């Protein structure tokens, strides 16, 4: 593995000499100021351009760094010198960043000593070095005051793990969380655990963030039980506690309607939490511009809303309706549906299920559906024409916005109407700020 050391070149050559001898790099890249007073003279200047000073007095002169370090056969001035505007922070950072980007590969070990040069040069190298995972060094000695170093110089590693950790988390995690891209967040967090030398407390912090991301990824994929296993131990975090309790209600709501799903961790809520969960999932798909997926989830939420209500209030299953649970005046009408399929079951589609509600006296969901039926019908037409249903027409952002407004407003009003006294709809979305310390 090739060891490459980047150094900022200032007025004194001594820190670079000390750094080179201490770190023994295979290649040196010099960050030099540009202009008439460029520090490049110390790198390639003729004669003995490197001045060793004691105060204002020159006590020795040395050859340029290329000659002094015996780099003649390795040095390429086109690639091993970076000229920067020494007092322009953006210029320093951008040019050093570009150089590090060109150097980065699996067989390169990057080091950066930011001792020399102007403050802008030093900050630029330190920041860009952190971005590319370079080990940072500073060459220093004994200080008796804030004016100067009086003792012998040594090149020492700079402990940047916590700085690097906070910087990376604050750079990537908010972006991924706003995108609900938990797999990318998990990959980055695993990289931090793998590549940074962290103290136990910092490792626990990253592992906690990773656990929560794993929980939300599982939850996002409707693996609710797996999500609970990952999030349970983090309920002490205020921003997670409310969602954790909400997940327990979703577990119970799903278990009540899904015969193949079982849980020992659910708690009873109003019973429509699984509907709310689908609506929030649709919102996340829309945020990712996956509008067909989003509409598919809204459609399923509409189905579940009426299925749960029919089951809770009238013990009617839409996949196999018991004719004896239907009001007597309408049984012949629904018996006719039994012979439209081969299973000898009365099976109700979405619209048939909602229309059945109006056969019961003063049904709250049925009356609400009657008020907005034409809007819901428009949604069903759009959904049926979509590529993921029966047609070939993709759902656009404009389509989704219209459909979402109509359907979500209906479902929120419906859940509020169906909640018993003391309960309320929640419709909680995943947070994007649980990464804070």
> Is residue 249 included in any domain, yes or no?
no
CATH number of the domain that residue 413 is part of: 1.20.120
> Is residue 258 included in any domain, yes or no?
no
d(CA 229, CA 214): 10
Indicate the pLDDT class of residue 437, thresholds 50, 70 and 90. low
Does the pLDDT at position 144 exceed 80? no
Q: What percent of the chain has pLDDT over 70?
A: 94
> Is residue 229 included in any domain, yes or no?
yes
| Range in 108-117, 143-152, 240-249, 291-300 the model is least confident about | 143-152
Q: Calculate mean pLDDT across residues 408-417.
A: 95
> Is residue 321 included in any domain, yes or no?
yes
> What was the pLDDT predicted at 326?
96
> Is residue 177 included in any domain, yes or no?
yes
> Is residue 394 included in any domain, yes or no?
yes
Do 284 and 181 fall into the same domain? no
Do 77 and 214 fall into the same domain? no
| Range in 1-15, 133-147, 167-181 the model is least confident about | 133-147
Burial pattern 291-329, b for ≥16 Cβ within 10 A else e, equals bbbbbbbbbbbbbbbbbbbbeeebebbbeebeeeebeee
d(CA 106, CA 127): 21
> Is residue 71 included in any domain, yes or no?
yes
Do 7 and 154 fall into the same domain? yes
> Is residue 146 included in any domain, yes or no?
yes
Does the pLDDT at position 38 exceed 90? no
Does the pLDDT at position 364 exceed 70? yes
Do 29 and 57 fall into the same domain? yes
Quote the number of domains for the chain.
Answer: 3
Do 284 and 188 fall into the same domain? no
Query: What rounded mean pLDDT belongs to the chain?
Result: 90
Query: Per residue in 224-256, pLDDT tens?
Result: 999 999 999 999 988 899 999 999 999 999 999
Contact 248, 274 (CB under 8 A): no
Structural domain harbouring 189: 165-238
Do 77 and 184 fall into the same domain? no
| Range in 8-12, 100-104, 343-347 the model is least confident about | 343-347
Integer angstrom CA distances of residue 351 from 45, 55, 184, 235, 376: 85, 90, 40, 40, 9
Q: Which of 134, 158, 182 is the last residue of a domain?
A: 158
CATH number of the domain that residue 154 is part of: 3.40.50.10770
Give which of 300, 279, 320 is closest to 411, Cα–Cα. 279
Task: Give one word for 151, left, alpha or beta, with left for phi > 0 and alpha for psi -120 to 50.
Answer: beta
Does the pLDDT at position 150 exceed 60? no
Do 220 and 323 fall into the same domain? no
Q: Which of 158, 193, 219 is the last residue of a domain?
A: 158
Do 25 and 58 fall into the same domain? yes
Q: Calculate mean pLDDT across residues 159-186.
A: 90
Do 89 and 144 fall into the same domain? yes
Indicate the pLDDT class of residue 197, thresholds 50, 70 and 90. confident
Do 283 and 404 fall into the same domain? yes
Do 174 and 137 fall into the same domain? no
Do 295 and 230 fall into the same domain? no
* pTM (2 d.p.): 0.76
């Amino acid at each position: 593995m090739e060891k490459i050391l980047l150094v900022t070149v200032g007025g004194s050559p001594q820190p670079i000499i000390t750094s080179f001898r201490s770190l023994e790099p295979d290649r040196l890249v010099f960050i030099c100021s540009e202009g008439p007073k460029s520090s490049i003279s110390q790198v390639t200047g003729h004669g003995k351009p490197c001045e060793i000073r004691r105060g204002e007095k020159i006590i020795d002169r040395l050859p340029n760094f290329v000659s002094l370090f015996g780099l003649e056969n390795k040095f390429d001035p086109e690639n091993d010198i970076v000229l920067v505007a020494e007092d322009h922070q953006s210029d320093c950072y951008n040019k050093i960043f570009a150089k590090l980007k060109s150097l980065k590969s699996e067989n390169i070990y990057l080091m950066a000593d930011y001792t020399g040069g102007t403050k802008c040069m030093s900050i630029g190298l330190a920041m860009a070095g952190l971005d590319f995972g370079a080990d940072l060094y500073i060459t220093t000695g004994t200080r008796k005051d804030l004016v100067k170093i009086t003792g012998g110089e040594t090149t020492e590693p700079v402990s940047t793990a916590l700085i690097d950790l906070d910087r990376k988390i604050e750079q990537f995690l908010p972006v991924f969380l706003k995108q609900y891209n938990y797999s990318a967040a998990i990959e980055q967090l695993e990289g931090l655990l793998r590549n940074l030398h962290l103290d136990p407390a910092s490792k626990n912090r990253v592992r906690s963030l990773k656990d929560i991301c794993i929980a939300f990824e599982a939850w996002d994929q409707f693996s609710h039980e797996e999500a609970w296993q990952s999030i349970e131990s983090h309920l002490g975090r205020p921003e997670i506690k409310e969602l954790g309790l909400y997940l327990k209600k979703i577990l119970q709501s799903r278990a009540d309607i899904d015969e193949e799903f079982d849980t020992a961790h659910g708690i009873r809520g109003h019973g429509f939490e699984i509907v709310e969960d689908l609506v929030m999932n649709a919102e996340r798909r829309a945020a990712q511009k996956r509008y067909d997926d989003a509409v598919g989830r809204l459609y399923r939420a509409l189905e579940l809303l009426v299925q749960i209500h029919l089951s809770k209030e009238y013990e009617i299953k839409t996949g196999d309706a018991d004719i004896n649970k239907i009001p007597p005046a309408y049984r012949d009408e629904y018996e006719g549906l039994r012979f439209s399929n081969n299973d000898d079951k009365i099976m109700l589609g979405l619209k048939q299920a909602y229309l059945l509600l109006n056969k019961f006296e003063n049904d709250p969901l049925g009356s609400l559906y009657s008020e907005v039926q034409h809007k819901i019908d428009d949604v069903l037409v759009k959904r049926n024409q979509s590529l993921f249903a029966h047609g070939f027409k993709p759902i656009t952002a404009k389509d989704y916005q219209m459909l979402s407004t109509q359907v979500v407003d209906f479902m929120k009003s419906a859940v509020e109407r169906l909640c018993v006294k003391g309960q309320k709809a929640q419709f909680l979305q995943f947070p994007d700020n649980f990464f804070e310390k």
